[in-house]
């Protein structure tokens, strides 16, 4: 079998294939135009009647979801901001409370230390005063003892002097009596 040129095969039946191609093409084109016209009629109908198309419904639903998500995001952001502000305020308040407590405790410690210092100074002053009083008492006691001792010495010395004088007087009297003859004895 010999191979034939495809152009020749189609030229033998050119009208039949061409007519079929043109008709098929015209039918396809008509279907497309009819579909477009149908869409346009539906759009016009929905525009007049007010019923939304599926695309409009989908767009509206998508817009509603986006708006809802945006609103939830905004609410979440606002809630987070409020929560953050509350947390910051609470932390700030707690920090101020801690600073105030620390300041009060520091002042209490300073006052306690000052009280201890004052007490120690008071105790030291009391001890110094007692030591001075004890020393003064000791000096006074020593002076009294010295005075008493001197007094006793003076008293003893006076007593001894008086005894000596009496003894001298008696001795003088005895010597005079012994050297002076008495009138009775002559």
The model's pLDDT over 17-67, given as tens digits with 9 standing for 90+, comes to 556 677 777 788 787 877 777 777 777 776 676 666 677 777 777 778 887
Contact predicate 46/52, CB 8 Å: yes
Please check whether residue 36 is in contact with residue 44, taking contact to mean a CB–CB distance below 8 angstroms. Answer: no
Whether 167 is in a domain gets the answer yes
In a domain, 121, yes or no: yes
Tell me, yes or no, whether 46 lies in a domain. yes
Total tally of structural domains belonging to the chain: 1
- For residue 180, the 8-state DSSP code is S
Residue 8's pLDDT is 47
Domain presence at residue 66: yes
Domain contains 52: yes
> Does this model's pTM top 0.85?
no
Q: Is the dihedral of CA 38, 42, 43, 44 positive or negative?
A: positive
**3 has a pLDDT exceeding 80:** no
Q: Is residue 29 part of a domain?
A: yes
Identify the pLDDT of residue 104. Answer: 93
65 belongs to a structural domain: yes
The 10 Å CB-count burial string (b at 16+, else e) for 14-36 is: eeeeeeeeeeeeeeeeeeeeeee
User: How much is the pLDDT for 50?
Assistant: 66
Range of the domain at 127: 24-181
pLDDT tens digits for 107-166? 999 999 999 988 888 898 889 999 999 999 999 888 888 888 888 888 888 888 888 888
- In-domain check, residue 14: no
Task: Return the pLDDT at 11.
Answer: 47
The pLDDT value given to residue 15:
47
Q: What is the pLDDT of residue 183?
A: 54
């Amino acid at each position: 079998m010999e191979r034939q040129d495809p152009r020749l095969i189609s030229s033998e039946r050119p009208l039949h294939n061409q007519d079929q191609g043109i008709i098929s093409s015209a039918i396809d084109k008509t279907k497309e135009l009819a579909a477009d016209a149908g869409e346009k009629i539906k759009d016009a109908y929905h525009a007049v009647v007010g019923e939304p198309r599926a695309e409009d419904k989908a767009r509206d639903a998508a817009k509603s979801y986006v708006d809802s998500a945006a609103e939830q995001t905004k609410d979440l952001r606002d809630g987070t901001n409020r929560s953050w502000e509350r947390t910051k305020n609470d932390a700030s308040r707690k920090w101020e409370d801690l600073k105030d407590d620390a300041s009060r405790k520091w002042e209490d410690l300073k006052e306690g230390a000052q009280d201890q210092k004052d007490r120690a100074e008071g105790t030291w002053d009391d001890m110094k005063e007692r030591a001075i009083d004890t020393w003064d008492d000791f000096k006074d006691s020593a002076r009294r003892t010295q005075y008493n001792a001197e007094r006793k010495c003076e008293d003893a010395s006076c007593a001894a002097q008086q005894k000596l004088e009496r003894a001298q007087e008696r001795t003088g009297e005895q010597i005079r009596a012994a050297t002076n003859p008495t009138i009775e004895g002559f």
